[in-house]
Chain A
Amino acid sequence: MTESPEARAKCEISITVNGKPETVQVHAMERLLDVLRHELGLTGTKEGCGEGECGSCSVLIDGVLVNSCLIPVLQANGAKIVTIEGLASNGHLQALQQSFLDCGGAQCGICTPGMILAAHYLLSKNPQPTLEEIREGLSGNLCRCTGYSQILEAVAEAARREAAT
């Protein structure tokens, strides 16, 4: 079997994922999404459309929300990445994860990881958003199940709970 061009062009990429340093040998143009899922086994990050439209593959790179299906892994070299697997600590759900559970923000669950990361990013910039700001902040993440209402409620609830602590 001939070696694929991809295999020939592999390079070494170092990233920190959920606080853990990782080094992988991959093609420089491999999507960050695929590196997370295939190389690192972090399958919580989902692919919905592969073209940056649905937001299911949202992760944070150095604190900034991105669609990991649009990021060649080379671009993430040296960066700190947070995925859905990095939010709960020691089995304790993060406030957003708990409020998504309580308010019905997750139905089929496929958009949920990306949606929670988008909400996490929103609250990191704006801890007490209005309903309109939440709507706007999550408008890059598509959900086909919920009609969004219970997701918006979950984000508002998480913000309330965070403020109360």
Chain B
Amino acid sequence: MKNAPIVGTSVPRREGRDKVTGHARYVDDMVLPGMLYGATVRSRIARGKINKFTFGAGIDWNAFVIVGPRDIPGKNCIALMEDDQPCLADGMVNHPEEALLLLAHPDRHLLPKAVEAVSIEYHPLPAIFTMEESEAQSQIIWGRDNIFKSYRIEKGDVDAVWQSADHIVEGEYTTGAQEQLYIENNGMIAAFDPQQGLTVWGSLQCPYYVHKALMKLLGLPADRVRVVQMETGGAFGGKEEYPSMIAAHAALLAMKAGKPVKIIYDRMEDMAATTKRHPSRTRHRTGVSKDGKILGGEIDFTLDGGAYKTLSPVVLSRGAIHAGGPYYWPCVQIRAKAVATNAPPHGAFRGFGAPQSLFAMERHMDRIAQVVGLSPVEIRRRNLLRPGQATTTGQTVAEQIDLPKLLDRALELSDYQSKKEQFAKANQQCTRKKGMGIAAFLHGAGFTGSGERFLGSVVGVEASADGSLRILVSSAEFGQGTNTVLCQIAAEALGIRYEDVGIAQPDTDQVPNSGPTVASRTVMVVGKLVASAALGIKETLAASGMLGDSYSPEEFRAACLAYVRKHGKFRSLAQYEQPDNIIWDEETYRGSAYAAFAWAVYIAEVTVDLTTYKVTLDDFVALQEIGKVLHPVLAKGQIIGGVAQGIGFALYEKVIWEQGRMQNGQMTNYIMPTSADLPSIRVYFEELGNIHGAYGAKGIGELPMDGPAPAIVNAVEDALRVPFHAIPLLPEDIFAALSESAAPDRVATSARGNE
């Protein structure tokens, strides 16, 4: 029996009712009997030795539980890629806000005063705060050379290009740190029972990352550590790695106190101490023919990783692989490195390196266009990848994606050509200058290269005692719609109703490791495994003779129930196996970097007011090919939300650093867009399908973060005829640039012709 399709329809958000009634349970909503509150004493300097702590007068210290590095039973590290980041700094600090001591007390009101009352005597050491200082190695603060990781992607012989090129176009582009600014601050509760072991409940993306970190820190076996994800109020990458730190702190306090401990950060602590998007610097040197074809180039991509390695190597990898954009490079050399500075470690944030390198690529395309004398449209049209061509890592574009057609559709949707002409005329007479900007880009879905093979994610579907089905995954819901879409997929696979499928709360005692909830992988990779695990249930029922070929949802449930009554509840598991044609060489960085790319063209229409220097977005067209839209409302919500964060990245969100410390860690002075700041964001999809994804889906979570910044800054340049190479681009930056130089032809003079 064929039921109406579920995939492709906008079924109600699974946990939506709880969210609109205030009943959804976030970690701060949870209270355990006898629970204490925890707080963190942090470094107030960027780098130095700790001589001693003094616990000041006026506080009854006996009433506090105090934890230092000596209280750590296992290894003092937050296990991730490398064990270089301590859980509590021991003798030496490497960045401001580094955790030194932990305090807990039953009265949460007393904690801020107690934290203040701990004075720390340091022997300060010289610190470094910029990528340039790190490269100059005036101080070695990490390893032998301050370099966390470097990569080289090579295709063809770039040296041969410089002679034959008609133009050599150079440019340097930078992006700033960006705070994820989830509205729910980080938080964790830990409880320890000598028999049962440790349980933590928290706001997080990756239950098994926390699990792994706690095992190593506490020296506990896997079955004595349990991690439960509570409803999570936004994450965007910001709750990928740092929750392991907070869980570790809560766990240490709970173990010493013998009572549960809750740690909830306030906004300022969350902003100052936790990860942000890596600041970046990208240098392009591109050889171009006189008809606008890219002949080859060099791209130097550098990230500021902060004081510890954490995830910088993988952020760097994704940034490097995306650095060439959606263009055909006959030859290219991409040199990427992540360097250490004495700032809190930078980390995962939606896009994961790609928004940085794609900002550079798409600004650089406009620069190339000017040097060659072509329009931004034409320079892109002549260089966009075509099916059969190879990307910078040598991955052949196997799908029938027609990027020039995607570009044309975006131009039409935005009324690009006629607006360009109209603005060019009108701008001559007014102080409100208008402009149009384009960004063409791609985003790889899933872990890079062999990452998914190494993860080997496992997904379960379980027939419960009452005959209902439950999906078992560690993939977390934090707004994107994980719960909803995975239930849709299972229901579709089995031909039953959406309402007939449930999903377990991510709890490492209950669910297998389906991998971290990152990298735009959940729907594509985990979703496909959910479909296959669901089919396993059907096969078991069919093999037992309890389910025929054709059945109604009621018959399916009855068969499940009959089976469970006879044999007990049962699970079907599915594990990821990398398809044979996805081959990646980690040594040479060549091969299939991603199982699928989503493709997009975004167009921004802006007004720059030369009285206030404010940039206003008048229209924004977001057109993308994402394989298959599984839930139109959620997919549209992902795109608009990502574009809004991209607009913040471009025009609003500036982290002010002073000696490695964020100075504006409040929502009053770190400004994200409000409902009054954003234009209507028009979202359009194309659907080519994808053999590697559930029902043809590709990942879409990160894609919309990549395009807005370059599209907007390209539009600002179009309006003002002055180039900008750095974001965030604030009114004062525009004012400064216009004051500094009224000469509109600086671009051309800084690009060297090779005649």
CB-defined A-B contacts under 8 Å, sample of 29: A2-B63, A4-B109, A4-B110, A6-B109, A43-B22, A43-B28, A46-B183, A48-B185, A48-B667, A49-B667, A93-B17, A93-B20, A97-B20, A102-B12, A104-B633, A107-B480, A108-B183, A108-B184, A109-B24, A111-B233, A116-B20, A136-B675, A136-B676, A140-B674, A142-B667, A144-B236, A145-B641, A147-B678, A147-B681
Which one of B267, B479, B674, B678 lies within 8 Å of A145 (CB-CB)? B479
Could you give, for residues 79-102 of chain A, a 1 whenever the CB lies within 8 Å of some chain B CB and a 0 otherwise? Answer: 000011101100001000110111
Chain A positions within 8 Å of B, measured between CB atoms, are: 1-2, 4, 6-7, 37, 42-51, 53-54, 56, 83-85, 87-88, 93, 97-98, 100-104, 106-113, 116, 134-136, 138-152
Which one of A6, A49, A108 lies within 8 Å of B666 (CB-CB)? A49
Is B644's beta carbon under 8 Å from chain A? yes
Is B266's beta carbon under 8 Å from chain A? yes
Closest residue on chain B to residue A116 by CB atoms: B20
Closest residue on chain B to residue A97 by CB atoms: B20
Closest residue on chain A to residue B267 by CB atoms: A49
* A107 engages B641 (CB within 8 Å): yes
* B16 engages A101 (CB within 8 Å): yes
Known A-B contacts A107-B479, A109-B231; A152 and B675 likewise in contact (beta carbons under 8 Å): yes
* B183 engages A146 (CB within 8 Å): no
* A150 engages B21 (CB within 8 Å): no
Which residues of B are found within 8 Å of A140, using beta-carbon distances? Answer: 674
Which residues of B are found within 8 Å of A135, using beta-carbon distances? Answer: 675-676
Which one of B17, B183, B641 lies within 8 Å of A147 (CB-CB)? B641
Which one of A84, A108, A134, A149 lies within 8 Å of B640 (CB-CB)? A149
Known A-B contacts A1-B60, A43-B29, A135-B676; A144 and B182 likewise in contact (beta carbons under 8 Å): yes
- The answer for the CA separation of A164 and B522 in the assembled complex, in Å, is 40
* A88 engages B21 (CB within 8 Å): yes
- The answer for the CA separation of A140 and B633 in the assembled complex, in Å, is 25
- The answer for the CA separation of A27 and B29 in the assembled complex, in Å, is 21
Is B13's beta carbon under 8 Å from chain A? yes
Known A-B contacts A104-B633, A108-B182; A147 and B233 likewise in contact (beta carbons under 8 Å): no
Q: How far does the Cβ of B307 sit from chain A's closest Cβ, in whole Å?
A: 26
Is B207's beta carbon under 8 Å from chain A? no
Q: How far does the Cβ of B138 sit from chain A's closest Cβ, in whole Å?
A: 38
Known A-B contacts A108-B232, A142-B672; A147 and B644 likewise in contact (beta carbons under 8 Å): yes
Closest 5 CB pairs of A and B: A44-B22, A110-B233, A108-B479, A147-B644, A109-B19
* B17 engages A144 (CB within 8 Å): no
* A147 engages B479 (CB within 8 Å): no
* A149 engages B681 (CB within 8 Å): yes
- The answer for the CA separation of A147 and B644 in the assembled complex, in Å, is 5
Q: How far does the Cβ of A152 sit from chain B's closest Cβ, in whole Å?
A: 7
- The answer for the CA separation of A148 and B634 in the assembled complex, in Å, is 13
Most chain B Cβ neighbours within 10 Å, of A56, A101, A106, A110: A110
* B183 engages A48 (CB within 8 Å): yes
Closest residue on chain A to residue B266 by CB atoms: A50
Is B715's beta carbon under 8 Å from chain A? no
Is B637's beta carbon under 8 Å from chain A? yes
Chain B positions within 8 Å of A, measured between CB atoms, are: 10, 12-13, 15-26, 28-29, 60, 62-63, 107, 109-110, 180-185, 231-236, 266-267, 478-481, 633-634, 636-637, 640-645, 666-668, 672-676, 678, 680-681
Q: A87-B21, A101-B17, A109-B19 are in contact. List 12 more A-B contacts (CB 8 A).
A: A4-B110, A50-B267, A54-B667, A100-B20, A101-B13, A109-B479, A110-B234, A112-B20, A142-B674, A143-B675, A148-B678, A152-B675
Closest residue on chain A to residue B180 by CB atoms: A144
Closest residue on chain A to residue B669 by CB atoms: A53
A-B contact count (CB 8 A): 176
Which residues of A are found within 8 Å of B17, using beta-carbon distances? Answer: 93, 101
Most chain B Cβ neighbours within 10 Å, of A108, A134, A151: A108
* B633 engages A150 (CB within 8 Å): yes
Closest residue on chain B to residue A150 by CB atoms: B637
- The answer for the CA separation of A98 and B481 in the assembled complex, in Å, is 17
Closest residue on chain B to residue A27 by CB atoms: B109
* B23 engages A148 (CB within 8 Å): no
Which residues of A are found within 8 Å of B233, using beta-carbon distances? Answer: 46, 108-111
* B26 engages A110 (CB within 8 Å): yes
Which one of B20, B60, B185 lies within 8 Å of A106 (CB-CB)? B20
- The answer for the CA separation of A110 and B633 in the assembled complex, in Å, is 19
Most chain B Cβ neighbours within 10 Å, of A101, A112, A144: A144
- The answer for the CA separation of A100 and B18 in the assembled complex, in Å, is 12
- The answer for the CA separation of A147 and B679 in the assembled complex, in Å, is 10
Which residues of B are found within 8 Å of A83, using beta-carbon distances? Answer: 22
**Chain A interface helix/strand/loop/mixed:** loop
* A84 engages B181 (CB within 8 Å): no
Which residues of A are found within 8 Å of B107, using beta-carbon distances? Answer: 4, 6-7
* B641 engages A54 (CB within 8 Å): no
Known A-B contacts A6-B107, A110-B184, A142-B667; A51 and B267 likewise in contact (beta carbons under 8 Å): yes
- The answer for the CA separation of A54 and B684 in the assembled complex, in Å, is 30
- The answer for the CA separation of A146 and B643 in the assembled complex, in Å, is 9
Which residues of B are found within 8 Å of A48, using beta-carbon distances? Answer: 183-185, 267, 667
- The answer for the CA separation of A83 and B666 in the assembled complex, in Å, is 25
Closest residue on chain B to residue A154 by CB atoms: B20
Which residues of A are found within 8 Å of B235, using beta-carbon distances? Answer: 108
Closest residue on chain B to residue A41 by CB atoms: B31
- The answer for the CA separation of A53 and B672 in the assembled complex, in Å, is 11
- The answer for the CA separation of A83 and B15 in the assembled complex, in Å, is 20
* B29 engages A51 (CB within 8 Å): no
Q: How far does the Cβ of A138 sit from chain B's closest Cβ, in whole Å?
A: 5
* A54 engages B183 (CB within 8 Å): yes
Which residues of A are found within 8 Å of B19, using beta-carbon distances? Answer: 106, 109, 112
Which residues of A are found within 8 Å of B232, using beta-carbon distances? Answer: 108
* B637 engages A145 (CB within 8 Å): yes
Which residues of A are found within 8 Å of B63, using beta-carbon distances? Answer: 1-2
Which residues of A are found within 8 Å of B643, using beta-carbon distances? Answer: 147
Most chain A Cβ neighbours within 10 Å, of B18, B21, B180: B21
Which residues of A are found within 8 Å of B674, using beta-carbon distances? Answer: 139-140, 142, 148
Most chain A Cβ neighbours within 10 Å, of B10, B235, B634, B674: B674
Q: How far does the Cβ of A9 sit from chain B's closest Cβ, in whole Å?
A: 11
Q: How far does the Cβ of A27 sit from chain B's closest Cβ, in whole Å?
A: 8
Q: How far does the Cβ of A92 sit from chain B's closest Cβ, in whole Å?
A: 11
* A108 engages B478 (CB within 8 Å): yes
Known A-B contacts A139-B674, A147-B678, A148-B675; A101 and B183 likewise in contact (beta carbons under 8 Å): no
- The answer for the CA separation of A97 and B23 in the assembled complex, in Å, is 12
* B636 engages A104 (CB within 8 Å): yes
Q: How far does the Cβ of B21 sit from chain A's closest Cβ, in whole Å?
A: 5
Closest residue on chain A to residue B633 by CB atoms: A104
* B23 engages A44 (CB within 8 Å): yes
Which residues of B are found within 8 Å of A49, using beta-carbon distances? Answer: 267, 666-667
- The answer for the CA separation of A48 and B645 in the assembled complex, in Å, is 18
- The answer for the CA separation of A150 and B15 in the assembled complex, in Å, is 17
Known A-B contacts A108-B479, A142-B674; A150 and B26 likewise in contact (beta carbons under 8 Å): no
* A84 engages B21 (CB within 8 Å): yes
Most chain B Cβ neighbours within 10 Å, of A56, A85, A143, A151: A143
Closest residue on chain A to residue B25 by CB atoms: A43
Which residues of B are found within 8 Å of A134, using beta-carbon distances? Answer: 675
Which residues of B are found within 8 Å of A87, using beta-carbon distances? Answer: 21
* B637 engages A146 (CB within 8 Å): yes
Which residues of A are found within 8 Å of B642, using beta-carbon distances? Answer: 147
Known A-B contacts A6-B107, A44-B23, A149-B681; A144 and B181 likewise in contact (beta carbons under 8 Å): yes
Which one of A51, A107, A113 lies within 8 Å of B667 (CB-CB)? A51
Which residues of A are found within 8 Å of B480, using beta-carbon distances? Answer: 107
- The answer for the CA separation of A7 and B106 in the assembled complex, in Å, is 13
- The answer for the CA separation of A56 and B185 in the assembled complex, in Å, is 12
Which residues of B are found within 8 Å of A139, using beta-carbon distances? Answer: 674-676
- The answer for the CA separation of A6 and B20 in the assembled complex, in Å, is 34
